[in-house]
Chains A and B, each alone.
Chain A
């Protein structure tokens, strides 16, 4: 069985109505339990929970410290290519965006990587568009093999692949894969992904299953906030996570909450999520699942990132560039989206320390 079968039994509109019908009593009941169900999660992300935000934040803070201590893991993205055959309405790398394309050569990959290494990074995230001829499985495998000797964790955020390809890359040293569904609203998904392999909703939604079967260490899930109702979309993410945790119980999971950012040739968000709602969502996730990693990128601004550490985020990127070559080899190339927090890794370290937290650069050793 794959998640798609379970997913297809659900109806978006019914769930959405259900979330918006949650009451203060439902929220209070959820807050007073020790284990929360998916129904409780609905209450915690519902508008009815907003008046409980401070209480939720306090609880989320305590639960996060209990599990993760006073620590924040740091990572950096390494963009390998902005070539892409998909048309996605929200992405700067979209095929119909007539800009100069760039794919790093092996030498350039090493130059970028060594820069990140000097900054202190041990966990890196390789990012590409989807262009099977230039940045296919072989290209990525080569990049992993180049980088593995120098970093404790090499993860990737690239096109979905078949199980066998994941197995190949895991053998080469791949640690984790981030694969965001973008939206679980099937009709809207088609509107935002009009061309290319990414337009296949079913293949994408079953990607975590293929990763789980391949025996990946970590899977990152999330939706792009701004495409559809974020509450309903996050409920589906939670449903997906619950299914995966039970099925692939040896894999660890992380959740992200990317809000749509300005980028070259991009749509305006259909739904705008304010800061208060993002805090609510992060707290709801933590209260629902005490063990899941919650990750935040430099999409968010300094003020927000500084204050969210104590609330529940357990991993953060720092000093990121979202264009291939952006660190040293081609700083002017096209970026995927604008970052908001442009502080250097050392500034982020100082900030984390000032909050009474310890930055963790390394949390993995290749044991095999």
Chain B
């Protein structure tokens, strides 16, 4: 099925984006990511050793099918984010950027005010900005207005594997958005990923659930299948959910009883 996702200048056949943290070793990470079919992998600038790339994570990500999405994890405000983004652009030779500003190191929750500020500036500096944010529909519209390439609302706090806790808000975001919606954070099982795609999300970003699985390669593949299934179901048109059985005594038949 030809159903590519287009973000800025790139076309993706896979709607599964992945993280690169938390794996037990780089080799295993590479195998799991290949099995997942992902075409966009995010990597934390703070984990890259720019001086010594030999044993570095980047060696394992230099695959034709992986586009790199550097992220600004670790920054606490817009100013630091802009600085980090410029470092990332230089180090990784890409203007794509996952903008993450979480001043709270405990729950890693994104700062909406600083994110909007940084997004606006980074767009002006020529970055393709994908901001990690709360599932806040108004913030998504504001970000869209400053020119981000997609929005990345969270399903649940990072690394919690709790699934789509923000579902009601994600639905509004998906309904209203003119840019792709990528559900990021909280996706702990393939079923969560499928549910996000069924809802109409354009893609999901998964890290912990694959990296920490007993068999990350098999889990990468399971996510690939789930994302494909969820997308197919969305395109096929899901039947409406109903809480009650169809009423046995219709109320409007009287209209044709004249």
Looking at chain B's contact residues, is the secondary structure mostly helix, strand, loop, or mixed? loop
Known: A358-B23, A363-B47. A368 touches B79 (CB 8 A): yes
Are A66 and B212 neighbours in the complex by a CB distance under 8 Å? yes
Q: Which of B24, B49, B212 is the one whose CB lies under 8 Å from A358?
A: B24
- Among the stretches A13-21, A244-252, A276-284, the one at the interface with B is A244-252
**B212 A65 Cβ-Cβ under 8 A:** yes
- Tell me, rounded to whole Å, the shortest Cβ–Cβ distance linking B33 to chain A: 14
Q: Are B22 and A365 in contact (CB under 8 A)?
A: no
Residues of B within 8 A of A249 (CB): 103-104, 106
Q: How far is the CB of B162 from chain A (nearest CB, A)?
A: 10
Which residues of chain A are within 8 angstroms of B22 by Cβ–Cβ distance? 65, 68-71
Known interface pairs A358-B24, A358-B26. Does A364 touch B46 (Cβ–Cβ under 8 Å)? yes
Q: Does B185 interact with chain A (Cβ within 8 Å)?
A: no
Q: Is the CB of A250 within 8 A of B83?
A: no
Binary CB contact string for chain B from 69 to 83 against chain A (1 if under 8 A, 0 otherwise): 000101110011101
Distance A76 CA – B77 CA, assembled complex (angstroms): 29
- A357 interface hit (Cβ, 8 Å): yes
Counting CB contacts under 8 A, is B211 at the interface?
yes
Q: Are A367 and B80 within 8 A (Cβ)?
A: yes
Residue pair A291, B47 in contact (C-beta under 8 Å): no
Indicate whether A365 sits within 8 Å of B104 (C-beta atoms), given known contacts A66-B159, A70-B212, A360-B47: no
CB contact between A250 and one of B25, B45, B103, B159 (< 8 Å): that residue: B103
In chain A, residues 65-113, which have Cβ atoms closer than 8 Å to a Cβ of chain B?
Answer: 65-71
Could you tell me which residues of chain A, from 159 to 198, have a CB within 8 Å of some CB in chain B? Answer: none
Q: Distance (Å) between the CB of A33 and the closest chain B CB?
A: 15
Contacts of A368 on B, CB cut-off 8 Å? 79-80, 83
| B84 on interface, CB distance cutoff 8 Å | yes
Q: A328-368 vs B: 1/0 string, CB under 8 Å? A: 00000000000000000000000001001110111111011
Whether B107 pairs with A291 at a CB distance below 8 angstroms is yes
A122 in contact (CB, < 8 A): yes
B103 A367 Cβ-Cβ under 8 A: no
Smallest distance from the beta carbon of B211 to chain A beta carbons, Å?
5
State the CA gap A363–B48 with chains docked (Å).
8
In the complex, what distance in Å separates the CA atom of A361 from the CA atom of B25?
Answer: 13
Distance A71 CA – B28 CA, assembled complex (angstroms) = 13
A357 to B212, CA, bound (A): 11
Q: A365-B74, A365-B84, A368-B83 are in contact. Are A250 and B49 (CB under 8 A)?
A: no
Contact B49 A361 (CB under 8 A): yes
Distance (Å) between the CB of B11 and the closest chain A CB? 31
**Interface residue ranges of A190-213 to B (CB < 8 Å):** none
The answer, yes or no, to whether B87 is at the interface (CB within 8 Å) is: yes
Q: Which residue of A67, A250, A364 contacts B76 across the interface (Cβ within 8 Å)?
A: A250
A70 contacts which chain B residues (CB < 8 A)?
22-25, 211-212
Neighbouring A residues of B212 by C-beta, 8 Å: 65-66, 69-70
Q: Determine the distance from Cα of A362 to Cα of B24 in the docked complex, in whole angstroms.
A: 15
B208 and A69 within 8 A (CB): yes
CA distance A66 to B80 in the complex (A): 27
Residue B161 is within 8 A (CB to CB) of chain A in the complex: yes
Contact indicator B106/A365 (Cβ below 8 Å): no
Mark each residue of chain B from 142 to 175: 1 if its CB lies under 8 Å from any CB of chain A, else 0: 0000000000000000011100000000000000
Known: A353-B25, A367-B83. A69 touches B49 (CB 8 A): no
Asked whether B24 lies within 8 Å of A365 as measured between CB atoms, the reply is no
Which positions in B face A, CB cutoff 8 Å?
21-26, 45-49, 72, 74-76, 79-81, 83-84, 87, 103-107, 159-161, 208, 211-212
**Given A362-B48, A367-B74, A368-B83, list of 8 further CB < 8 A pairs?**
A69-B211, A122-B49, A353-B25, A356-B24, A357-B24, A362-B46, A365-B48, A365-B87
Residues of A in contact with B (beta carbons under 8 Å apart): 65-71, 122, 152, 245, 249-252, 291, 353, 356-358, 360-365, 367-368
A-B pairs with lowest CB-CB distance, top 7: A69-B22, A70-B24, A252-B105, A367-B80, A365-B46, A356-B24, A291-B106
